[in-house]
């Protein structure tokens, strides 16, 4: 791979941008020092921006070779000028006032063909909740990771799929219990998608108090038990609820133990 010819402060700037603006391409600075552009040659990726600073209204950045403008850009006499480079290629430029004194530079734009790599993805071994915390999710890329995604499918998502996030996901909500596998993905600004990295978790819910087996414990469960106790709803199927694992005290009955447990859970005492 080609090495990037940029100065240390610019590397730091790119690093800071990658931390705070992960969905954005890099911004690279070129400054005027005396009668020269510094750095004189800059290599960037498609979609990156070059900002020329300290032109001092005495210099220009004008695209072209042999002191002849080619019409791609011309800052005219300003202090600061920026341009986004979306297409790979070599872009020579000069200062229109001082080209004959050798005040020239070049921007080399390369296509990013290197896919991101998932460097870490871990889930807890077990979970008693359908919403599972993601312990770690990290990725790297030569030009910067711009998107993160987790899926239950092993099929790689496209770069334009719904569900990409600028920051790594920290939780994932499953629909059912069992042994589950999640796949982590990362993409870069050029649309390269990483290989997936998988992790597994066993979801085993505590069913106590979940009378109607809808995977949540709420007032509806308490109402059903009260209907059973008061015989206010003769259609309630006792056996179905006993078989659901909802029997809190293991006495094979739906009773006030279940009502109290459910109300405590709803109230946040459990």
Alpha carbons 249 and 264: distance in angstroms, whole number: 14
29 binds Ca ion (CB under 5 A): no
User: Which CB, 145 or 182, lies closer to Ca ion?
Assistant: 145
Alpha carbons 197 and 114: distance in angstroms, whole number: 17
249 binds Ca ion (CB under 5 A): yes
Report yes or no: 154 and 110 within 8 Å, Cβ to Cβ.
no
48 binds Ca ion (CB under 5 A): no
- Exposure string of 109-134, with b = 16+ CB inside 10 Å and e = fewer, is bbebeebbebeebebeeebeebebeb
139 binds Ca ion (CB under 5 A): no
Tell me, residue by residue from 160 to 199, as one string, x for binding to Ca ion by CB under 5 A and - for no binding: ----------------------------x-----------
User: Which CB, 48 or 188, lies closer to Ca ion?
Assistant: 188
Q: Identify the residue among 214, 233, 238, 264 touching Ca ion (CB under 5 A).
A: 214
Alpha carbons 198 and 122: distance in angstroms, whole number: 8
143 binds Ca ion (CB under 5 A): yes
Q: Which two tokens stand for residue 33?
A: 């020092």
Q: Which two tokens stand for residue 185?
A: 């993905």
Alpha carbons 109 and 115: distance in angstroms, whole number: 18
Q: How far is the CB of 219 from Ca ion (least distance, A)?
A: 9
247 binds Ca ion (CB under 5 A): yes
Give helix then strand counts, H and E, for the chain. 4, 17
Q: How far is the CB of 229 from Ca ion (least distance, A)?
A: 11
* Residue, CB closest to Ca ion: 188
Q: How far is the CB of 173 from Ca ion (least distance, A)?
A: 17
Alpha carbons 187 and 115: distance in angstroms, whole number: 7
User: Which CB, 27 or 266, lies closer to Ca ion?
Assistant: 266
Footprint of Ca ion (CB under 5 A):
112, 114, 141-143, 188, 210, 212, 214, 221, 247, 249, 251, 253, 257
């Amino acid at each position: 791979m080609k090495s990037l010819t940029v100065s240390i402060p610019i590397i730091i700037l790119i690093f800071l941008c990658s931390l705070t603006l992960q969905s954005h391409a890099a911004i690279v600075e070129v400054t005027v020092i005396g009668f020269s552009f510094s750095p004189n040659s800059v290599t960037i990726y498609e979609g990156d921006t070059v900002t020329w600073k300290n032109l001092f209204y005495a210099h220009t950045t004008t695209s072209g070779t042999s002191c002849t403008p080619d019409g791609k850009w011309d800052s005219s006499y300003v202090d600061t000028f920026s341009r986004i480079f979306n297409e790979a290629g070599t872009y020579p430029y000069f200062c229109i006032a001082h080209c004959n004194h050798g005040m020239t530079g070049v921007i080399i734009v390369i296509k990013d063909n290197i896919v991101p790599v998932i460097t870490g993805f871990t889930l807890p071994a077990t979970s008693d909740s359908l919403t599972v915390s993601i312990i770690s999710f990290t990725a790297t890329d030569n030009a910067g990771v711009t998107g993160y995604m987790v899926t239950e499918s092993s099929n790689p998502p496209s770069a334009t799929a719904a569900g990409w996030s600028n920051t790594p996901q920290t939780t994932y909500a499953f629909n059912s219990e069992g042994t589950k596998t999640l796949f982590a993905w990362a993409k870069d600004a050029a649309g390269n998608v990483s290989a997936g990295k998988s992790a597994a978790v066993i979801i085993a819910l505590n069913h106590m108090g979940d009378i109607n087996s809808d995977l949540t414990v709420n007032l509806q469960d308490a109402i059903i038990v009260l209907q059973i106790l008061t015989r206010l709803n003769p259609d309630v199927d006792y056996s179905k609820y006993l078989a659901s694992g909802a029997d809190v005290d293991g006495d094979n009955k739906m009773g006030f133990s279940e009502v109290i447990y459910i109300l405590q859970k709803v109230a946040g005492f459990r």
